[in-house]
Structure 1
Amino acid sequence: MLKKWCSLSFLLCWQVYAAQEPIEAVPLYTQAELIELIKKNQHLQRVKSDECQLVQDIEARAETMALPSYQFLYGDMLAYAVCVDRDVELGLYYMRSAAEQGLASALEQLGRYYDVGQLVQADKAMAITYLREAAAQGNLKAQLRLVGLFNQGHGSPRDYEDAYRWLFHSAVADKAQHKKIERALSQLAQKMPQSVVRRARLPM
């Protein structure tokens, strides 16, 4: 009956449906919530699952308020065409803006991009610059990739001690990840004097 009546009066039908199923506004993410989503690499999926309702708010917080977590989110949205038209150059601009403000996830991602040549030209020296900053903040992905680059012969031996120290003192519950760290550290230790390795193992 409702369907038949709807065909007679679209406007009244829409008002009835609106009254029956009120649209709930999606709350904007807090800084802490967004950073956790970024750490778990769930930030883009969250924007999609929220049906792209927050695009204007995200853009405003990235552009006007210059919040690093929102700059990172908006940069990724632009780079991968999530709820917005794709603009890799602008996306990288916002990622770099977030990195310049010290957001570890942005530093790690840019370091990874420069390492593998994703969205940018591969540049191991630039990768190490970004990864070192992220690793110093305790970002495990950055620490592992940084040690990996050193083990491949990139970078300066002067940075080995810090890289070893950060990764050695990282807390990892996953056994497979723990074994991966052990192998990386063992390989890096072969490039270092034993006295430096012992010093890097001292409590931080």
Structure 2
Amino acid sequence: MIKKLCCIALLMSVTAVAQEPLTAVPLYTEAELIELIKKNQHLKRVKDDDCQLVQDIEARAETMELPSYQFLYGDMLAYAVCVDRNVELGLYFMRKAAEQGLSSALEQLGRYYDVGQLVQADKALAVIYLREAASQGNLAAQLRLVNLFNSGHGSPRDYEDAYRWLFHSAVADKKLHQQIQNALARLAEKMPESVVRRARLPM
């Protein structure tokens, strides 16, 4: 009798769980995903959502060709987040996002070519990607680009723009502010005073 009651109770419990509605994870809007990417929280978000959106993310990257989703899917592939690792395909999608002008993709590829992460180091390619991201106001790209120029890479024809973009950036962090100040001082040494003055004029 006790065994029979236990079986009935277990059956009722399983039935109750089965009847609970599953909560669907809403797909990220473009604006929301871009903010997650800027904060470098996009991969964590996919993990936190228990990898439920992989097929939707893949469809928006491959079929709809949305740059933010191409970047997300590329990162997922490169770092084996909710999918099997495929660095080559991951880089393909990152490049597709960069071709559409996504600042974060341009900055990341520029950084990868600068340090040789996932790809062979290529300072010339790094400058190309970083310059495009920097022109869109990407602070990380602006600082890295100036540092590359200070290290002897790139063309002096680009110094003025790089100086202007970084000089007019707004930074609250004191340590980062000092890094920017030092980088600008070094770049100014490579430029005529008249060009530095012009670069400092309001944009």
TM superposition score normalised by structure 2: 0.94
Instruction: For 1:189, give the aligned amino acid.
Output: A
Quote the offset at 1:16 in angstroms: 1.6
In structure 2, distance between residues paired with 1:87 and 1:76: 10
Give, in whole Å, the separation in 2 of the partners of 1:4 and 1:130.
66
Q: Is the 8 A contact 1:71 1:95 kept in 2?
A: yes
**Corresponding residue of 1:117:** 116
Q: TM-score, normalised by structure 1?
A: 0.94
State, as a whole percentage, how many aligned pairs show the same letter.
Answer: 79
**1:101 alignment counterpart:** 100
Q: For the Cα contact (< 8 Å) 1:112–1:127, is it kept in 2?
A: yes
Give, in angstroms, the shift of residue 173 of structure 1.
1.1
Aligned counterpart, 1:5: 7
Structure 1 residues 22 and 161, CA gap change in structure 2 (3 angstroms)? same
The aligned runs of 1:42-81 (5 Å cut-off) are 42-81=41-80
Aligned partners of 1:144, 1:4: CA distance in 2, in Å?
67
Distance 2:18 2:42 in 1: 30
Task: Tell me the equivalent position of 2:157.
Answer: 158
Q: Deviations over 1:4-28 (max 9, x none)?
A: 437975xx65332133x43200000
Structure 2 residue 71 is the aligned partner of structure 1 residue 85: no
Gaps of 5+ in 1: none
Aligned length: 200
The structure 1 segments of at least 4 consecutive aligned residues displaced by more than 2 Å after TM superposition are 3-9, 12-15
1:173 is matched with which residue? 172
Aligned residue number for residue 184 of structure 2: 185
Q: 1:39-95: CA deviations, max 9, x gaps? A: 000000000000000000000000000000000000000000000000000000000
Give the letter for the 1:15 counterpart: T
Letter in 1 for 2:38: K
Question: How far apart are 1:177 and its partner, in Å?
Answer: 1.0
Computed over aligned residues only, the root mean square deviation of the Cα atoms, in angstroms, reads 1.7
Residues 5 and 141 of structure 1, relative CA distance in 2, 3 Å threshold: same
1:140 matched residue in structure 2:
139
Report the Cα distance in structure 2 between the residues aligned to 1:26 and 1:18, rounded to whole angstroms: 18
Write the distance in 2 (CA, Å) between the matches of 1:155 and 1:179: 23
What is residue 35 of structure 2 aligned with on the other side? 36
